[in-house]
Structure 1
Amino acid sequence: MSTGEGLSVDDGVRTLLLLMPRLVGRAKRTPPPEPLRSLDLAPRHLSLLAYLLFDGPLTVNELAARLEVAPTTVSLMVGELSRKDVVERREDETDRRRTIVSVAPANREAVHAWLARGAQAWRTVLEPLTAEQRRLVVDTLRAYEREVAGEG
């Protein structure tokens, strides 16, 4: 089917039901780079590390809001990653009750390498689209996630 043809809802559903497991499987099979391989990192760590890499240091609460999980969940993940020297934690100088999290400099290149292929693939497919088309793709994927989770 060419990209210029229309697509019925049923054809779209069929195509996506076959495509989504392949996409998820491929993402899960993307191994961390060698420096991170022995650390037993999981896909859930990838999202947290992506925010830190793309957005810079963030507080635990900011990470929790972006990941849409409880701050205690992020605290546990940050603790785990901190013990493995993947991330660094430090007190916020302006509010010592807050913890600032960043990718440890020693692992920044390895984390970037882990994310690079997926980021480049998304850049390649999103770049030719208009801003409105990109928004539609992102909004559609978010809506699908909500529906699958029963939150729609």
Structure 2
Amino acid sequence: MSTPEGEPRNAGAAGGEGLDDAVRSMLLLMPRLVGRAKRIPVPEALRGLALAPRHLSLLACLLLDGPMGVNELAARLEVAPTTVSLMVGDLSRQGVLERREDEVDRRRRIAAITPDRLPAIEAWLAPGAAAWRTALGPLGAEQRRLVVDTLLAYEAAVGRERD
């Protein structure tokens, strides 16, 4: 998809990568990223559980940020509190999460990873977090925001294309 003159579309004056070259690179990279993520083995202690990607996002929030309430989890996951409540209930029944009273506000319930499941969840999710820290660590805050915003824009565009 180059221009008729053979110049890559949107090439920078200093010989930067053209838009089509960047798209090509991403089209090659994304399946490898997904493939690597899918090859991360589920720890033995979690294999019998029915964990979906949405559960992994919830577990990652609790692992990285500690116990929190349903509304706070919903805000971080960008879903409705009822959705989080259902997921927390599901994972509680499977012994992955525990719900306890908030010591400050006894009406509020806090979700936390159970102590016996924590090592398996850490072993499973921590390498991915470490890899992102390695990749994003050298970047400044604005550059990290650009990476995240770009991936969010890609997700939204793919969603529109499929709808």
TM-score category of the 2 structures, normalised to the smaller one: 0.7 to 0.9
**Residue 17 of structure 2 corresponds to residue 17 of structure 1:** no
2:76 alignment counterpart: 66
Greater helix content: 1
Aligned equivalent of 2:144, options 119, 134, 142: 134
* Superposed CA offset, 1:11-37 (max 9, x none): 111221222232223223322211112
Aligned equivalent of 1:91, options 101, 120, 128: 101
The offset of 1:110, in angstroms, is: 0.9
Question: Aligned ranges for residues 2-151 of structure 1 at < 5 Å?
Answer: 6-150=16-160
* Superposed CA offset, 1:118-137 (max 9, x none): 11211111222233222221
Higher relative contact order (Cα pairs below 8 Å, separated by 6+ residues)? 1
Q: Is 1:59–1:98's contact at 8 Å kept on the other side of the alignment?
A: yes
Equivalent pairs counted in the alignment come to 147
Give SS of 2:49's match.
Answer: coil
Q: Is 1:31–1:37's contact at 8 Å kept on the other side of the alignment?
A: no
TM-score (ref. length: structure 1): 0.85
List runs of 5+ in structure 1 lacking aligned partners: none
**C-alpha distance in structure 2 between counterparts of 1:44 and 1:21, whole Å:** 20
List runs of 5+ in structure 2 lacking aligned partners: 1-14
Output the amino acid matched with 1:128: P
Sequence identity percentage: 71
